[in-house]
Amino acid sequence: MTDKVVVITGGSRGIGRATAIAAASRGFRVVVGYASNLAAANEVVSIIEAKNGKAIAVKCDVGNEHDILALFKAADEFGTLGALVNNAGIVGPTSRVDEMSAERIQRMMAVNVTGSILCAREAVKRMSTRHGGKGGVIVNLSSVASKLGSPSTYVDYAASKGAIDSFTIGLGHEVAGEGIRVAAIRPGLIDTEIHASGGEPDRAQRLSHMVPMKRVGTADEIANAVVWLISDEASYVTSAILDVSGGR
């Protein structure tokens, strides 16, 4: 158990929601970031508080640096930062590259890549022993798309997750001597609303036959891996990428 603060971007729904609830059950004070769905974020806070945990909801579009600075300011007022989960991520509608607009690609990279790097910057400033911090953990949500490339679906998304893999390795090495561990999880097909936001609500179920385990995963199965990585049980794990994908 810990009483440190964990910042979870996109903590209002899906994998972030499950991670927020799981982290609170291990004693973390949870900052639930959300982009626009205040009701969903408040529900996560209520669930945590009903179990005597501590949580706050903070609006933060990670595509906006000003929002990120406000998110970490709120976290500072809530306690000592011990972990960041870079969970917020978006997909676009199914599309070939030769059909993609510059605006779509720029937004994809702004949210999935720049947002994660800026959040990590703020976390390192607070957790690194180089800056007087006490150490901590950063977990980035990548995707098996970084290996598969997602042809004719969303190559831009896959490329953004490839960037997250490289970022995880590099930042992990950069801060390994400063008390900070950095890891990524590559989920496979997980049953959340992200598929509906890409215009294909049944995508995960439809493709489940391609998973060696022949089923989609749950948000809780990803959350369990995240809370292990942010715990001391993973104390020798850094610059590591863990596939949680049913073998995909």
Q: Which residue's structure tokens are 């994998």?
A: 15
User: What are the start-end ranges of the H helices in the chain?
Assistant: 14-25, 38-50, 65-78, 102-109, 115-127, 145-148, 155-175, 194-197, 203-206, 219-229
| Closer CB to ligand NAP, 204 or 229, in the complex | 204
| Closer CB to ligand NAP, 128 or 140, in the complex | 140
In the complex, the smallest distance separating the C-beta of residue 130 from ligand NAP, rounded to whole angstroms, is 28
| Closer CB to ligand NAP, 98 or 202, in the complex | 202
Characterize the bridge pairing of strands 240-244 and 180-187.
parallel
Distance CA 169, CA 200 (A): 32
The alpha carbons of the chain give a radius of gyration, in whole angstroms, of 17
In the complex, the smallest distance separating the C-beta of residue 2 from ligand NAP, rounded to whole angstroms, is 23
CB neighbour list of residue 23: distance below 8 Å, 6 or more residues apart: 6, 8, 30, 83, 85, 223, 226, 227, 230
Burial class (CB in 10 A: 0-12, 13-18, 19+), 98: exposed
| Closer CB to ligand NAP, 90 or 183, in the complex | 90
For the record, the structure tokens of 61 come out as: 């579009």
How many beta carbons lie within 10 A of that of residue 245, not counting itself?
21
In the complex, the smallest distance separating the C-beta of residue 178 from ligand NAP, rounded to whole angstroms, is 25
Contacts with ligand NAP by CB under 6 A lie at 9-10, 12-16, 33-37, 40, 60-63, 87-90, 111, 141, 143, 187, 189-190, 192-194, 197, 204
- 236 given a catalytic annotation: no
| Closer CB to ligand NAP, 128 or 143, in the complex | 143
Q: Bridge partners of 55?
A: 30
In the complex, the smallest distance separating the C-beta of residue 72 from ligand NAP, rounded to whole angstroms, is 14
In the complex, the smallest distance separating the C-beta of residue 113 from ligand NAP, rounded to whole angstroms, is 11
Edge-first strand listing for the sheet containing 5-8: 55-59, 29-34, 5-8, 81-86, 136-141, 180-187, 240-244
Choosing from 34, 154, 157, 236, which is the catalytic residue? 157
Residues catalogued as catalytic:
157
